[in-house]
Structure 1
């Protein structure tokens, strides 16, 4: 591995060589330059990675489906080193949409050609028997979907990307992903959760034991474990409701500090219809009532602990208490909520 100025220069040269070969449609040179790009990536500095990310992303529409996923991962890795996620996003999410469509076709053809256990995507090209069974485009779609998941999650760690993606496009991606997950039984959980992250989202919380309510706003929260700890900090730690307040370290790792630390639950999260809102889910599971997500907090039915932290370590989480509800407003909302199932 070559570090320092020489390493940075070799990475920069590899990016330029790859870009030139792709523009000139020279497959052999493109493959060699791509290998060089990956070989010298660790030696690249932040400036070189920031410069390379948008350039690599812009090449995605010009690449064949197979190498396209590999280059998307490289663009995502550049974003993790400081490249402009917003500049890369249009190309990466166009590629993700196309790959999800191809993976959906793979699932359909796999079912009508005998079904059975789905093959695990592995490094390299799809197995010849898989290609023969479903066709090359569908096979590559299934094979490269994990690569597009990695690239997309790297971009979705940035609030600007979440916001710019737009509700309609996000819904279409989630619908296509849900179809693949259901048909294949494969999880793709990181991609699903990243697409579900809410930004600057209002949340009304009702604390049933005290009859009080609170208006909050949340951003960058990957799962309800994280939300649970931040709620306990805002409401118990803030002196609004009784219970166990998380420590400063537990809160910090749920916001922007690295690592995980043990914590204990303070509430039972419940939907207005009485259904439990599981910690294993996401804030997007909380139902919308009259245009705002509405969550009820009950006493925990049993002691439960977990590692406090963030589902997406690169994503900053935030939950802000905006105001307590007045007593009449809280009472009105609670009267509409069913007891916990």
Structure 2
């Protein structure tokens, strides 16, 4: 790292001490001052815009160490940054996390911004449907000012003499719709880290975000949030009780970073068949590696099914779903394994490759415990009823 011999020492608490600042660190300091000066009027806004551009220009070629150092400082500015540039600042935070910045120190404000963007985007969808049949605006081509005017009703009032949408709500809706793509990319970078996912789940943030994402995906296909949805639902350090109906045996396993049921299916076969507990063909080691940590490069490998995954009430747990689909019974997610009704195969890998996954066997249930648990589960539904 080349240091500017003319740079001043950083006197901020927690800043670099005993060395000179890099150009990026100085630019972040200027941005912090510009955010504090936003209330000073038009000049404050101009200083902020210039400072944000300066940080963005320096962050691209910056090294990992200095990018990691400024990540939490940039995240701390999100709350007081105007809505549209806030999303671009969030992307910078995500880039810093990808280069080693502490994800836990950056996560709260990024996930709060994602929640606000989703809420705004849903508000726009709902209010847009109240008007004529005009298509939803395209953030890549359409003018956000025109959308804002439409949401306000261009001065028109409803039957009660009120504008169609208050100015703040119109701004919230337009900002959410136009910036959602940036927020989901920033949040994705944060949520690839297990510490962020665990904290978000413990605080109830995951439940709120997944509910908003599900509502959005039902209403619009403008942004592909499927990857973020699977990532938000990933289970970490989560126990899984597995009951194998044909043999009457049971197993307690623990899931880490599992994002999809294709991945879970392969790792179940590796743990139980590969571990010598159940009969069958052990998965190809390459298929298992792709389900754990290996990235897909070049040749594709085909995974084959070993079981039919069934919920305790008899409903099927589809490979296309997520481990969170497995119901919690008596405080633990419980899965029943039945013989396959038909052969299954799929391209091996993880739906979210950025997240390593694992499934570990912790103990084999005693025969009497397995029998008691199996006696409490329902037979699998026939295929015709399972697909309804």
TM-score (norm 1): 0.90
2:357 is equivalent to residue 317 of structure 1: yes
**Worse-superposed segment, 268-277 or 287-296:** 268-277
What CA distance in whole angstroms lies between the structure 1 residues aligned with 2:291 and 2:138? Answer: 33
1:35: which partner in 2? 53
1:233: which partner in 2? 270
Give how far 1:67 is off: 0.8
Unaligned runs of 5+ in 1: none
2:246 is equivalent to residue 209 of structure 1: yes
Kindly provide the CA deviation profile for residues 163-186 of structure 1, in whole angstroms up to 9, marking residues without a partner as x. 222252221222233222223355
Which of 65, 78, 81 aligns to 1:47? It is: 65
1:245: which partner in 2? 282
2:167: which partner in 1? none
Shift of the 276–11 alpha-carbon distance from structure 1 to 2, 3 Å rule, reads same
Shift of the 60–301 alpha-carbon distance from structure 1 to 2, 3 Å rule, reads same
Give how far 1:221 is off: 0.7
2:41: which partner in 1? none
1:22: which partner in 2? 35
Give how far 1:222 is off: 1.0
In angstroms, what is the RMSD of aligned CA positions?
Answer: 2.3
Give how far 1:162 is off: 1.4
What CA distance in whole angstroms lies between the structure 2 residues aligned with 1:126 and 1:299? Answer: 56
What CA distance in whole angstroms lies between the structure 1 residues aligned with 2:180 and 2:355? Answer: 22
Corresponding residue SS for 2:242 = strand
Which of 118, 122, 145 aligns to 1:128? It is: 145
What CA distance in whole angstroms lies between the structure 1 residues aligned with 2:143 and 2:78? Answer: 20
What CA distance in whole angstroms lies between the structure 2 residues aligned with 1:121 and 1:278? Answer: 35
**Worse-superposed segment, 298-307 or 282-291:** 298-307
Kindly provide the CA deviation profile for residues 258-301 of structure 1, in whole angstroms up to 9, marking residues without a partner as x. 22642222222111222221111110000111111111112223
Give how far 1:146 is off: 1.7
Corresponding residue SS for 2:127 = helix
1:220: which partner in 2? 257
Give how far 1:89 is off: 1.0
Corresponding residue SS for 2:352 = coil
Which of 166, 173, 182 aligns to 2:218? It is: 182
2:334: which partner in 1? 294
2:343: which partner in 1? 303
What CA distance in whole angstroms lies between the structure 2 residues aligned with 1:238 and 1:228? Answer: 14
2:295 is equivalent to residue 258 of structure 1: yes
Contact 1:126–1:140 (Cα < 8 Å) also in 2 = no
1:269: which partner in 2? 309
1:194: which partner in 2? 231
What CA distance in whole angstroms lies between the structure 2 residues aligned with 1:132 and 1:249? Answer: 56
Give how far 1:248 is off: 2.5
Q: Which has the larger radius of gyration?
A: 2
TM-score (norm 2): 0.80
Kindly provide the CA deviation profile for residues 97-120 of structure 1, in whole angstroms up to 9, marking residues without a partner as x. 222221221122112123554334
Corresponding residue SS for 1:240 = coil
Corresponding residue SS for 1:112 = coil
Shift of the 176–333 alpha-carbon distance from structure 1 to 2, 3 Å rule, reads same
Contact 1:93–1:152 (Cα < 8 Å) also in 2 = yes
Alignment length (residue pairs): 337
Shift of the 330–65 alpha-carbon distance from structure 1 to 2, 3 Å rule, reads same
What CA distance in whole angstroms lies between the structure 2 residues aligned with 1:112 and 1:339? Answer: 47
What CA distance in whole angstroms lies between the structure 2 residues aligned with 1:302 and 1:15? Answer: 59
**Worse-superposed segment, 22-31 or 102-111:** 22-31
Give how far 1:13 is off: 4.1
2:209 is equivalent to residue 169 of structure 1: no
Corresponding residue SS for 2:254 = strand
